[in-house]
Amino acid sequence: MGVLVHKDFDFIVQGITGREAVNFTRECLEYGSRIVGGVTPGKGGREVYGVPVYNTVREITEQRKVDGSVITVPLAFAADAAYEAIDAGIKLLVIITEGICRRDAAAFIEYAHQHDARVIGPNCLGIIIPDVCRFGSLGGPAVDCRKAFKPGVVGVMSRSGGMTTEICNALSQAGLGESTAISIGGDPVIGSTYAELMPYFEADEATEAVVLYSEPGGSSEAELARWAKENNSRLPIVAFVAGRFMDDMHGMSFGHAGTIVEKKLDSPADKIRRMRDAGISVADEIGDIPRLVQERLDGAA
């Protein structure tokens, strides 16, 4: 079991001949993922670690089942790659490319919605069900990935790719493990927010608790708090909000575009208050997460 992907999940990589794509293609194959094709316009006919490269997405979807696409193309081509995948009938997109403008992201996410396709990201690393399927570049080399991600009971959602691995590593060290981990992306406009993904975890038998990593900026924590209040979820949620030092630094930029505090809702203090009000446990320290999850699991039993 798990969320969004599964052991027979077949996916392609758009931009497969790029430097980072070549790396994670090998890492995914070594991890056991089923990459059934790659796309780089003008490089059709080549191979990347045995994966055939095509000029267009349709060349692949016309001859076989494709469940998802990882998009890691240069910024200037990212929106086009998303439209191409959606028009070819692919229903799950992981968009790794960073720096996509809100206007472009909002447009192709709306287009995906109209076509019943789901977008994870932009500016994310993808999805992993430990030892079952890795869809994207979470965790690095397969050997390191297996150290950090272990099968288990916690669903993880994180706005930071690197912190997805950090938190899953901590949960694995504590013996809890992960059911599915999703790097949802660090941009202000992303395809799938915490609240939208919660029902998937809710429906997943393997998931017994959810951990999320959040940052300053944006309204997705307030949205989750509202969801938690309105839905009597069986899943305890433990959250961690990074960047509390930014509470008194309105407008300063630290990394992801999404972390700039622009509105009242955006501040870590406001997020923590809203989530606690909704019954979500908020860890004061990153190191407290596994213990809080265990406590919530024990309390629920």
Partner 1 sequence: MRFYEFETKTILARRGIPVPEGSRAANAGEAASAAQELGGAVVVKAQLLVSSKAGASRSDESQAVDSPEQAATATEELLKIDDGGRGPRGVLVEKVHAATAEYSLSISYDGTAKQPLLLAADVAGNIEDIADAHPDRVVSRHFSALVPFSDYVAKEVAAGLGLNGSELNRMAGVIARLARLFLDYDLTQADIQTLARLEDGSLLAVDCFSDMEVEAKYRQKELLAEFGVGEEDTRSVREPTAFELAGKKIDDDDPRGIIGPVVEFGGNVGLVIGAGGGSLTLTDAVRKAGGDPANYAAIGGNPSVAKAVALTKLVLGKPGVDKIAVMSNVVSNTRADLVARGVIKGVIEMGFEPADKITIFRVPGAWEADAVKILNKYGVEYCDRSVSISEAAKRAVDKING
CB 16 within 8 A of CB 53: yes
Which helix H or strand E contains 290, and what residues bound it?
helix 289-300
Report if residue 158 touches partner 1, rule: CB under 8 A.
Answer: yes
152 vs 186 by CB, closer to partner 1: 186
Report if residue 100 touches partner 1, rule: CB under 8 A.
Answer: yes
Q: Tell me the pairing of strands 133-136 and 126-129.
A: antiparallel
Which is it for the CA torsion 188, 194, 197, 199, positive or negative? negative
Q: Tell me the pairing of strands 151-158 and 209-214.
A: parallel
Report if residue 185 touches partner 1, rule: CB under 8 A.
Answer: no
CB 204 within 8 A of CB 151: no
Neighbours of 225 (CB within 10 A): 23
Q: Kindly state the smallest distance separating residue 198's Cβ from partner 1, in Å.
A: 13
CB 37 within 8 A of CB 51: yes
| Options 28-36, 89-97, 201-209, 258-266: segment touching partner 1 (CB under 8 A) | 258-266
CB 121 within 8 A of CB 182: no
Which is it for the CA torsion 29, 181, 183, 247, positive or negative? negative
Which of 113, 115, 250, 256 is catalytic? The answer is 256
Segment 19 to 38, residues that bind partner 1, using CB under 8 A: 20, 23
Q: Kindly state the smallest distance separating residue 17's Cβ from partner 1, in Å.
A: 18
Report if residue 229 touches partner 1, rule: CB under 8 A.
Answer: no
Report if residue 7 touches partner 1, rule: CB under 8 A.
Answer: no
Segment 188 to 227, residues that bind partner 1, using CB under 8 A: 188-191, 193, 195, 213, 215-216, 218-220, 222-223
Q: Kindly state the smallest distance separating residue 109's Cβ from partner 1, in Å.
A: 5
Amino acid at 284: D
Report if residue 165 touches partner 1, rule: CB under 8 A.
Answer: yes
| Residue from 133, 163, 235, 238 in contact with partner 1 (CB under 8 A) | 163
- Rounded CA separation 84/78 (Å): 10
Which helix H or strand E contains 189, and what residues bound it?
none
36 vs 272 by CB, closer to partner 1: 272
Q: Kindly state the smallest distance separating residue 140's Cβ from partner 1, in Å.
A: 3
Told to judge if 115 belongs to the known catalytic residues of this protein, a careful annotator would answer no
Report if residue 231 touches partner 1, rule: CB under 8 A.
Answer: no
- Rounded CA separation 122/239 (Å): 22
Q: Kindly state the smallest distance separating residue 199's Cβ from partner 1, in Å.
A: 15
159 vs 296 by CB, closer to partner 1: 159
Residues taking part in catalysis: 256
